[in-house]
Structure 1
Amino acid sequence: MSDAAARVADATGNWVDRSAPLWSRPYLRLSRFDRPIGSWLLLMPCWWSAALASGMAHDIHQLPKMIALFFIGAFVMRGAGCTWNDITDRDLDAKVERTRSRPIPAGQVTAKQAFAFLVLQALIGLVVLLQFNTFSIATGIASLGIVAAYPFMKRITYWPQSVLGLAFSWGALMGFAVVFGGIDATALLLYAGSICWVIAYDTLYAHQDTEDDALIGVKSTALLFGERTQAALALFYGLAVLLIGAALLLAGVRWPAWLGLAAFALHLVWQVARTDISDSALCLRLFKSNRDAGLLLFAGLLVDAIMRAA
């Protein structure tokens, strides 16, 4: 199969297609380095918690290190999670138009080769994790059970997005684990808010596959909500803002953090207003825009942390 024929259907024209060595392209596609949006979305709660916890501690000396290591860890571990997802879903992916060109169903790599690559990525992630304290290491490792279970949830529940939320929001706990060596109510509120955010944006993403999912028996909140999706997005995005706001209140933040939360909330309102579930391309664009929403909140938390540490 030529490389052009093997490109993933919804990720063409990226740097992997244009510039990466041919031998590396299937592995980079397994890790979704051709579509880094998921890594950014995994990273956002990590950066939020790093900035919020540093502001609460009135000490930002660890913050640059956390920002850098969380960045590496998010990209590597999202790659590992996607590789695991592709291994477990290889038969389902072959039946869905958008995913049948992924590396395993397309025959670019075998499941054994993909698993070896998964192990390599996990080891890199472990090296990153070992740079932190013992509690942080244990907290990071504790997330692996959720990550391992997630690909199977779409087979048994219409709420796989909630399990993804548990996994993708884990970083909301990590900043507190690093800074304080523990997890408090503020961290848990931030985590809960992030879970609601993930449920909403991944529902948008799932609307790309509703027809194929219904045919092959795969479940999702997109199928569950259907025509009520816009109202469901408003509910979960609203809960996200309220819960994150409660975390900020408990943390005693200053005005930059509240400004960041307001910008985050306005972005989510814009998404809900724009949503049209009949337009798959629009759903994908709105899903991707959540990186910008997350960065707006992070910017406010970062400025707040710097001000409080001064």
Structure 2
Amino acid sequence: MRRRSSGGHARWAGAGGRLALYLDLVRWSRPAGWLVLLWPTLAALWVAAGGFPGWHLLAVFVAGTILMRSAGCCVNDVADRDFDRHVKRTAQRPVTTGAVPVREALAVGAALALAAFALVLTTNLPTILWSLPALAVAILYPFAKRFLAMPQAVLGVAFSMGIPMAFTAVRGEVPWPAPWLVLGNLFWVLAYDTEYAMVDRDDDLLIGIRTSAITLGRFDVAAILCFYLLFLGIWAAALAGQALGAAFWLAIAAALAQVAWHWRLIRTRTREGCFTAFAQNHWLGATVFAGIVLGYAMR
């Protein structure tokens, strides 16, 4: 009996250890990465529906966003495993250290992507079709830094695919103002991911990785501010005709105040300040989303 109990505990311990590695692989303890993807997607869902989109679509897009971002982390860590060991912030990632083998990480990513696709299958054909290029861009992004001077632009496309999918899920098409929301969101991604790239700039220069922080050079802080302003300006203009009232405009003002705070964090280009700015971006997205939700609720 004791031997069986010991073996059972060992198996449970092994399973728990593996689960902990998988959770680390998908950045479960760092939700900021999927929150910045979730807020614009949900905002588009509310705009497409003219208010609350219903529990089914809300559940599909929340769960699907988390699953696809987690799957993207698996692909990213496999693609970057040789680079990550030279970067202090990423050197202990499970794939980089060998704790999770490459095939296992890809299997986890595939399982997560399939689960997300199963959710998409509960919507409609246009949304299913849009999910295919969304998956392709998510897979291609980790390799973009090998070829492009600003690979963050590819991430911007990947992190904006939920917007047209939200519109097709509700309306079966991608009407105005969806393209403008995509463009604005692209600039937001450029802003916060450049802040993120500033954290690793010294390491990336040594290993030869291309990022927007390196490409922009001494204009990085000014460019980030421009990206934020373009994001908020484009979204404000695109949604001005929705009659969202004071709640929406107060949210835009609050978001602008956060941009000023980000400038204070990144102006000296310290690793700590830049990482804090990146990690707190989900509050900016949540603020804009809250303004949209309240605007429709109070019409």
Same fold (TM over 0.5): yes
Decide which of 156, 161, 175 is 1:170's aligned counterpart.
161
Partner of 1:12: none
In structure 1, what is the Cα distance between the partners aligned to 2:273 and 2:118?
A: 38
Q: CA deviation at 1:25?
A: 1.5
* 1:175–1:256 Cα change, 3 Å: farther
Matched, 1:261 2:263: no
Matched, 1:187 2:178: yes
CA deviation digits over 1:252-308, x for unaligned, max 9?
433322222222222123212332353111111111111111111111111122234
* 1:102–1:277 Cα change, 3 Å: farther
* 1:277–1:132 Cα change, 3 Å: farther
The letter for the 2-side match of 1:248 is L
5+ residue gaps, structure 1:
1-19
Partner of 2:25: 30
Contact 2:265/2:274 (8 A) holds in 1? no
Matches within 5 A, 1:109-258: 109-258=100-249
The letter for the 1-side match of 2:287 is L
In structure 2, what is the Cα distance between the partners aligned to 1:233 and 1:278?
A: 12
CA deviation digits over 1:129-158, x for unaligned, max 9?
122121112112221121111111111122
Q: CA RMSD in A?
A: 1.6
* 1:254–1:181 Cα change, 3 Å: farther
Contact 1:186/1:250 (8 A) holds in 2? no
Q: CA deviation at 1:37?
A: 1.0
Contact 1:30/1:103 (8 A) holds in 2? yes
Contact 1:50/1:63 (8 A) holds in 2? no
TM-score by length of 2: 0.90
Q: Which has the higher contact order (CA 8 A, sep 6+)?
A: 1
The letter for the 2-side match of 1:46 is T
Contact 1:43/1:74 (8 A) holds in 2? yes
Contact 1:45/1:170 (8 A) holds in 2? no
In structure 2, what is the Cα distance between the partners aligned to 1:100 and 1:190?
A: 36
Contact 2:21/2:99 (8 A) holds in 1? yes
Matches within 5 A, 1:9-28: 21-28=16-23
Decide which of 44, 55, 72 is 1:49's aligned counterpart.
44
Aligned residues: 285
The letter for the 1-side match of 2:184 is G
TM-score by length of 1: 0.87
Decide which of 56, 59, 67 is 1:65's aligned counterpart.
56
In structure 1, what is the Cα distance between the partners aligned to 2:136 and 2:240?
A: 31
In structure 2, what is the Cα distance between the partners aligned to 1:175 and 1:115?
A: 27
Q: CA deviation at 1:70?
A: 1.6
The letter for the 1-side match of 2:218 is E
In structure 1, what is the Cα distance between the partners aligned to 2:86 and 2:280?
A: 28
In structure 2, what is the Cα distance between the partners aligned to 1:166 and 1:241?
A: 17
Contact 2:265/2:276 (8 A) holds in 1? no
Q: CA deviation at 1:26?
A: 1.6
Contact 2:196/2:278 (8 A) holds in 1? yes
The letter for the 2-side match of 1:214 is L
Identity of aligned residues (%): 35
In structure 2, what is the Cα distance between the partners aligned to 1:293 and 1:78?
A: 19
* 1:263–1:66 Cα change, 3 Å: farther
SS of 1:105's equivalent in the other structure is: helix
In structure 1, what is the Cα distance between the partners aligned to 2:295 and 2:129?
A: 28
Higher mean displacement: 247-256 or 204-213: 247-256
In structure 2, what is the Cα distance between the partners aligned to 1:242 and 1:125?
A: 32
Larger radius of gyration: 2
5+ residue gaps, structure 2:
1-14
Contact 1:51/1:63 (8 A) holds in 2? no
The letter for the 2-side match of 1:23 is R
In structure 1, what is the Cα distance between the partners aligned to 2:20 and 2:236?
A: 42
In structure 2, what is the Cα distance between the partners aligned to 1:91 and 1:132?
A: 39
In structure 1, what is the Cα distance between the partners aligned to 2:101 and 2:221?
A: 40
